């Protein structure tokens, strides 16, 4: 289904290692509003979309979210590369060192592991697309918080790029929602409630 290009969607650079920054950014790897949750949500929901356009949007964005997860992984790796155990302790991230060393694992900023409860799929295209729009807004807000907390211009550049993509994804989901609502109205697929039993 995909052809993998062996390069990041956009180059990731850091000015210097910074474990405190990495600890915050890891949330976009495995936190509730992170890239793993987004990619799995969209690539799963595409199967219950009624139009080819909506399926394509979910496939495109779900695939791009995998690329964003790769960028976040590269960013965290570069921010932690070569750091000794005491640097993890100083950053308040000793749990990462003890359990994973320099390895990446899907957690949030507090070390809580990723959970499937972070994603939703109700099978109703309108409900799922509105959920997707909300997910993109939550990710946008998280990126804004991260940008405000950073002092490395290289890290900010990467986070700003990812922030911009969240805005575009929100717009694309809005377009998909409009086409699905039009399709449902024309096809008389709108659910109007159930009949009362006598």
Contact criterion met (CB below 8 Å) for 43 and 2: no
The rounded distance, in Å, linking the Cα atoms of 77 and 133 is 29
Annotated binding site for Mn(2+): 35, 65, 68, 136, 169
pLDDT band at 4 (very low <50, low <70, confident <90, very high): confident
Q: Give the pLDDT of residue 3.
A: 78
Phi first, then psi, for residue 31 (nearest 5°) are: -80, 175
Q: Residues marked as binding for Ca(2+)?
A: 60
How large is the average pLDDT for residues 92-115? 94
Q: Does domain 19-186 have CATH number 1.20.1260.10?
A: yes
Tens of pLDDT along 123-139?
999 999 999 999 999 99
pTM for the whole thing? Answer: 0.91
Q: What is the mean pLDDT of residues 44-72?
A: 97
Instruction: Tell me if 33 sits within 8 A of 139, measured CB to CB.
Output: yes
CA–CA dist 166, 172 (Å, integer): 10
166 token code pair: 């969240």
Q: What pLDDT is recorded for position 171?
A: 98
Distance CA 85, CA 107 (A): 19
Which tokens in the block code for residue 116? Answer: 């499937």
Residues shown for the chain: 198
Give me the percent of the chain exceeding a pLDDT of 70.
93
Where are the domains positioned within the chain? 19-186
| Binding-site residue set | 35, 60, 65, 68, 136, 169
Token digits of residue 158: 């990467």
What average pLDDT does the chain have?
A: 93
pLDDT at 191 exceeding the cut of 60? no
């Amino acid at each position: 289904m995909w052809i993998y290009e062996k390069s990041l969607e956009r180059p990731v650079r850091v000015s210097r290692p910074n474990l405190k920054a990495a600890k915050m950014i890891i949330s976009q790897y495995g936190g509730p509003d992170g890239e793993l949750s987004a990619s799995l949500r969209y690539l799963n929901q595409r199967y219950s979309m009624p139009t080819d356009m909506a399926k394509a949007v979910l496939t495109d964005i779900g695939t791009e979210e995998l690329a964003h997860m790769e960028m976040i992984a590269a960013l965290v790796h570069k921010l932690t590369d070569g750091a000794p155990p005491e640097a993890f302790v100083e950053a308040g991230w000793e749990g990462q060192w003890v359990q994973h060393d320099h390895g990446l694992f899907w957690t949030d900023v507090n070390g809580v592991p990723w959970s499937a409860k972070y994603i939703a799929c109700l099978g109703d295209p309108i409900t799922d697309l509105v959920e997707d729009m909300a997910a993109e807004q939550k990710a946008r807000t998280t990126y804004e918080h991260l940008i405000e907390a950073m002092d490395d211009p290289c890290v900010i550049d990467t986070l700003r790029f990812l922030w911009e993509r969240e805005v575009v994804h929100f717009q694309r989901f809005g377009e998909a929602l409009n086409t699905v609502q039009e399709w449902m109205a024309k096809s008389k697929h709108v659910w109007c409630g159930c009949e009362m039993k006598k």
